[in-house]
Homo-oligomer: A and B are copies of this chain.
Amino acid sequence: MGIIVQKYGGTSVATPARLRRVAGRIAQTLEDPECVGVAVVVSAMGHSTDRLIDLAHRITPAPDSREMDMLLSTGEMVTAPLLAMALQARGVPAISLTGLQAGIRTTGRHRHARISEIRPERLVDTIYSGRVVIVTGFQGATAELDISTLGRGGSDTTAVALAVALGGDHCEIYTDVAGVFTADPRVVPDARPLAGISYDEMLEMASVGAVVMHPRAVEIGAAYSLPIWVRSTFGSGPGTIINGEANVEGRQPVRGIAHRTDVAKVTLVGVPDRPGVASAVFGPLADHGVNIDIVVQNVSHDGFTDLSFTIAEADLGMARLVLEQVATDVGAAGYQATADIGKVTAVGTGLLNIPGMFATACRALADAGINIQMMSTSEIRITFVVDRGRVIDAVRALHRIFALEKL
């Protein structure tokens, strides 16, 4: 199996006692005679990143991104040497490396940097010298050797990219849940961990609220056909394998139901239906950092149409400011905005290829008396926008109609 790359998230390394347990798991991995060596990627301990962000905000409401990166990088730089010490205390040779030392080069866009190159010479040398390498997740260095961070979920990205660079045959992501579930178990009590899910399905699940894996990490796995194994750090279950297999567990057309409630809906009413309107609306929003999610534009009546779209709830205030002006500019009758909505998404590679699946999903919501405000589909996904108060009911209804509780 060659070199194994494992990533442990913040909850798994939150205390010295947990770090010792993680060290035990790594030592166990090394006992496999086929294991050539282990590289470990760690997150910051528990909520330490949040504490650092809070510290910065006590200095200034709008801290500089470059300085934030230096500050935030210290979170993982605490975890990595502590885990190395825990391994050494068990008699396992280990060494910690920062992203810079591990040869992770990134673009210079601070707080949202992207890995541009990994120079794995030192990693490889160290592993073949018989030591476990602990790499700080979430960070790298720019060409100027400035510290950069990879944004939310960055440690997953580090792990998958390292597995690719080291020629590992898979990457193991250890987390506080037993794998990727068919739905959030807090919402659907009989949701179960999936044995497998395809990259595409995982990308859809991740982008609609199943936060077990960051989409960018999945994208890298897909690009290099590297299987990603999501498992519980302290449990013993098999976990979920994310790979290129479209139907790793039989013919079930729907793989899972994801949802999120941190969204808002905006409708521009009575928009003149002419070329350039969409650009006039979405350009200024993008300029102000507002990302658009689902967009629905209906057929026009008498040259006017309604344009609806969803955004992150956190961006609603900014969107309102922008739309005051934009509505006037494009000659719309006005706009409506509400945060009282949520998104529910059924994901599965077989979804749209099997006749009747879409109708089945719609019927499940209708039977539960849930009104569909907007909907959007892709090859492997159906998303419904519904009242926020009905999101949980919608998740349960879809989970039931597709019989996801059954293996």
Contacts and interface: CB of A to CB of B under 8 A. Distances in A.
Interface in A45-82: 52, 55-56, 58-60, 63-64, 66-68, 70-71, 73-74, 77-78, 80-82
A96 B68 CA distance: 10
Contacts of A60: 85-86, 88-89
A16 B85 contact: no
A66 B78 contact: no
A76 B196 CA distance: 44
Contact of A67 (B67, B96, B147): B96
A19 B146 CA distance: 23
A305 interface: no
A59 to B, nearest CB: 5
A207 interface: no
Nearest to A101: B145
Given A70-B81, A74-B74, A59 B89 contact: yes
A81 B53 CA distance: 12
A68 B81 contact: yes
A59 B16 contact: yes
B52 A64 contact: no
Contact of A84 (B58, B67, B85, B100): B67
Interface size class, chain A: 35 or more
Contacts of A20: 59
A71 B77 contact: yes
A361 interface: no
A179 to B, nearest CB: 29
B85 A63 contact: yes
A100 B64 CA distance: 21
A98 interface: yes
A230 interface: no
Nearest to A68: B81
A84 B64 contact: yes
A396 to B, nearest CB: 43
Most chain B beta carbons < 10 A, residue from A16, A84, A85? A85
Interface of A: 16, 19-20, 52, 55-56, 58-60, 63-64, 66-68, 70-71, 73-74, 77-78, 80-82, 84-86, 88-89, 95-96, 98, 100-101, 145-147
21 contacts: A16-B55, A16-B59, A19-B59, A20-B59, A56-B81, A56-B82, A67-B81, A67-B82, A67-B84, A67-B85, A67-B88, A67-B95, A70-B80, A70-B81, A70-B98, A71-B78, A71-B81, A73-B77, A74-B77, A77-B77, A101-B146
